[in-house]
A and B are shown apart, each in its own frame.
Chain A
Amino acid sequence: MNLKKLILICIALNIEAATVTRRFTNGGAITFTSVLANEATPFPSTIVADIPSNATITRVSVELRSFSATQPNQVTVLLRAPDPAPTPSVLPNANLILMNNTSNGAAIPVNNPITLILNDEAPALLPNTFSEYPATDTTRRPASYSAILPAPFLGANQPEEAGTSTFASSFNGINGNGTWELFVYNNFPDNNQGMFAAGWVLELTYEIPDIIPGCSISGRRSALFDAIRNKFGI
Chain B
Amino acid sequence: MKSKFLLCLAAVLNVSLLCASKTVFVPRSITHDSTYELSLSNYDIYHHRPVAKCCPQVNLYGSYFFQQSRRGCEVGSSFLPCESNCVTVGENDGSTVNSTLLGIVSPAGQNFRSEVCVNPCRRLQGAYLQAHLDFAYLDNWCRGWWLDFASAVVNARHSLGLTECVTSGEGSVEGIKNALDALDNNAWNYNHFTNRRLCKTGLDDIQVKLGYNWYYNRCGDHVGLYLVGTIPTGHRRCNRFIFEPTVGTRNGAVGVGLNADWTLWNQCNQSFVWMADVKYRYLFRSCEWRSFDLCNGDWSRFLPVVRQEETAFTLPGINFFTHKVKVEPRGQVDFWTAGHYRWCNYNLEFGYNLWWRQSECIKCPPTLCNVGLFDLNGVATLAICPVSANCLTTCQTTTSAVSDSSFNAVTSDRLNLSSGLVDRALTHKVYGALGYTFDCCNVGSLIGIGGSYEFAQCKRNAFDHWAVWAKLGISF
Contacts and interface: CB of A to CB of B under 8 A. Distances in A.
A209 to B, nearest CB: 6
A54 B105 contact: no
Interface string B80-117: 00000000000000000000100101111000000000
A178 to B, nearest CB: 14
B174 A217 contact: no
Most B CB contacts (10 A, CB to CB) among A53, A222, A223, A225 go to A225
A216 B311 contact: yes
A223 B106 CA distance: 12
B383 interface: yes
Contact of A52 (B171, B314, B315, B382): B382
Interface stretch (B19-27, B212-220, B286-294, B373-381): B373-381
B381 A221 contact: no
Given A216-B310, A231-B108, A223 B173 contact: yes
Contacts of B100: 224, 228
A219 B380 contact: no
A225 B174 contact: no
Given A220-B313, A222-B313, A232 B381 contact: yes
Interface string A103-134: 00000000000000000000000000000000
Given A228-B380, A232-B380, A233-B108, A215 B385 contact: yes
A53 B377 CA distance: 12
Interface in B305-350: 308-315
A223 B381 contact: no
Interface residues of B, number: 30
Given A221-B312, A228-B100, A230-B107, A212 B379 contact: no
B351 interface: no
A204 to B, nearest CB: 13
B62 interface: no
B314 A224 contact: yes
Most B CB contacts (10 A, CB to CB) among A54, A212, A223, A230 go to A223
B403 interface: no
A224 B107 contact: no
Most B CB contacts (10 A, CB to CB) among A212, A227, A230, A233 go to A227
A222 B312 contact: yes
Interface in B128-147: none
A229 to B, nearest CB: 6
B309 A219 contact: yes
Contact of B313 (A215, A225, A229, A234): A225
Nearest to B311: A216
B379 to A, nearest CB: 5
A137 interface: no
B311 A229 contact: no
Nearest to B103: A224
Contact of A231 (B106, B315, B384): B106
A14 to B, nearest CB: 15
B312 A216 contact: yes
A222 B310 CA distance: 10
A227 B173 contact: yes
Contacts of B107: 230-231
B398 interface: yes
Contacts of B108: 22, 230-233
Nearest 5 CB-CB pairs, A to B? A227-B105, A220-B313, A222-B314, A215-B385, A216-B311
26 contacts: A53-B382, A54-B384, A209-B384, A215-B385, A216-B310, A217-B386, A219-B309, A219-B310, A219-B313, A220-B310, A221-B313, A224-B304, A227-B103, A227-B105, A227-B172, A227-B173, A228-B100, A229-B380, A230-B105, A230-B107, A230-B108, A231-B106, A231-B172, A231-B380, A232-B398, A234-B380
Interface of A: 22, 52-54, 208-210, 212, 215-217, 219-225, 227-234
